[in-house]
Amino acid sequence: MKQSFRALLLTACATFAITASGNVLAAEEKAETTTDKAVAEKPAEPQKDYTIIKIGGEELKNSEVMESWKNLFPGGSAPDFNSFDENIRQNVLRGLVSERLIYNEAIKSGYDKNEEVKKQIALVSKQVVMKNFMENKAKNLISDEDMKAAYAEKVAAAKGQEEVKARHILVPTEEEAKKLAEQLKKGGDFEKLAKEKSSDKGSGANGGELGWFTKEKMVPEFAEAAFKLKKGESSEPVKSEFGWHIIQVEDRRPLQIASFDDMKEILKGELANKSVQKYIESLLKKADIKYFAADGKEKPFSTSLSPAAGKGADKAKDKKSDAN
């Protein structure tokens, strides 16, 4: 995703000063130490907002600076702004002041009245409104009872299922896989061979380690071969869309399900997606939607968001075309 002009401007200003300071990590560590001492000595009080910069007749509030600073660090990882030295803080402030000045110049030049700019503003405004509406809607669509019911379904579905812990070595050709299988039969070290030979560099660096997985987590050919093996056994060469595998099963066990508390956020995300999809489908079904071809003829239109339903609409369209 491309960074906005604002992010680029502020990041450039902050980065320049941070680089000049020599060590950001040291500054962050200093911030943590300072914060720890403050907490130990006295409970922190909410900071009152104040005017940090005046630009002519305009004011820039400290709260605006803090919000912009946080936005430079996605995921809520922003270090304490006040832990950095004055040089860094002023560089960030210069970025925000520059933004204000550029905006003022743009307004003076009439860019806010430019038709293309107005379209872009309307689009961004619509996206922000929808995003906030749907985030709030998703919260209201999910209850604790829904999550508990979804968890119970997962527990029930897990009964009788098994998972294996395995390693693999992936190579491009059957010939290479056969050579590896022979080496293993003669006592070759699986982990060592995986590190040396596997074209799957991610797992290869860890001796072919794949961890625990269930059948549906792997491509069918790989899964079938892995789940036929007993603990400690290695497979013959197995072909998949990725190449040729030699699989070694280290352990087997009944499928382990995490506790409800550990899965709460995952369940919330899954249910939010389903609930939002149902809500959008309900809006589509209620709406009077007509779909037309370039020649003006009406075409079938699916109100379902599932891919299968879309394909069904395409088939219906094709049949209608054939009939005509």
Q: What is the CATH number of the domain that holds 188?
A: 3.10.50.40
Q: Is residue 283 included in any domain, yes or no? A: no
Structure tokens at 4: 């906005």
Residue with token string 């998949």 = 240
Q: What is the pLDDT of residue 36?
A: 45
What is the Cα 252 distance to its own chain's centre?
31
Q: Is residue 151 included in any domain, yes or no? A: no
Domain finish residue from 113, 146, 175: 113
- Do both 182 and 237 map to the same domain? yes
Q: Is residue 132 included in any domain, yes or no? A: no
Rounded to whole angstroms, how far apart are CA atoms 241 and 221?
Answer: 9
Length of the chain: 324
Helix (H) or strand (E) run with residue 58 in it: strand 58-61
Domain finish residue from 113, 132, 151: 113
Q: Which domain holds residue 177?
A: 162-254
Rounded to whole angstroms, how far apart are CA atoms 66 and 80?
Answer: 9
Q: What is the pLDDT of residue 71?
A: 84
Rounded to whole angstroms, how far apart are CA atoms 149 and 268?
Answer: 12
Q: Is residue 269 included in any domain, yes or no? A: no
- Do both 234 and 323 map to the same domain? no
Structure tokens at 191: 């982990």
- Do both 29 and 90 map to the same domain? yes
**Residue 180 near residue 193, CB atoms below 8 Å:** yes
Q: What is the pLDDT along the chain (324 residues), one digit of tens a residue?
A: 445 555 555 555 555 444 433 333 333 444 444 444 434 444 445 568 999 999 988 899 999 989 888 888 876 678 888 888 898 889 889 989 999 999 999 999 999 999 999 999 999 999 999 999 988 888 888 888 989 999 999 899 888 889 999 999 999 999 999 999 999 999 999 999 999 999 999 999 999 999 999 998 999 999 999 999 999 999 999 999 999 999 999 999 999 888 999 988 889 888 888 888 899 999 999 999 999 999 999 999 998 887 655 454 444 444 444 444
- Do both 98 and 178 map to the same domain? no
- Do both 226 and 182 map to the same domain? yes
- 3-state SS class at 59: strand
Rounded to whole angstroms, how far apart are CA atoms 223 and 25?
Answer: 44
Q: Which of 308, 290, 286 is nearest to 299 (CA)?
A: 290
Q: Is residue 68 included in any domain, yes or no? A: yes
Rounded to whole angstroms, how far apart are CA atoms 299 and 60?
Answer: 55
- 210 by Cβ neighbours in 10 Å (0-12 / 13-18 / 19+) ranks as buried
Give phi and psi for 296, each to the nearest 5.
90, -5
Q: Is residue 320 included in any domain, yes or no? A: yes
- Do both 246 and 299 map to the same domain? no
CB contact set of 212 (below 8 Å; sequence gap of 6+): 163, 164, 165, 253, 256
Q: What is the pLDDT of residue 28?
A: 41
- Do both 22 and 101 map to the same domain? yes
How many separate domains does the chain show?
3
- 53 by Cβ neighbours in 10 Å (0-12 / 13-18 / 19+) ranks as middle
pTM passes above 0.75: no
Q: Is residue 270 included in any domain, yes or no? A: no
Q: What is the DSSP string of 99-128?
A: HHHHHHHHHHTTGGG-HHHHHHHHHHHHHH
**Residue 32 near residue 98, CB atoms below 8 Å:** no
Q: Is residue 156 included in any domain, yes or no? A: no
- Do both 77 and 15 map to the same domain? yes
Q: How far is CA 151 from CA 57, 163, 219, 259, 263, in A?
A: 57, 19, 26, 9, 8
- Do both 20 and 90 map to the same domain? yes
- Do both 231 and 312 map to the same domain? no
Domain finish residue from 97, 113, 129: 113
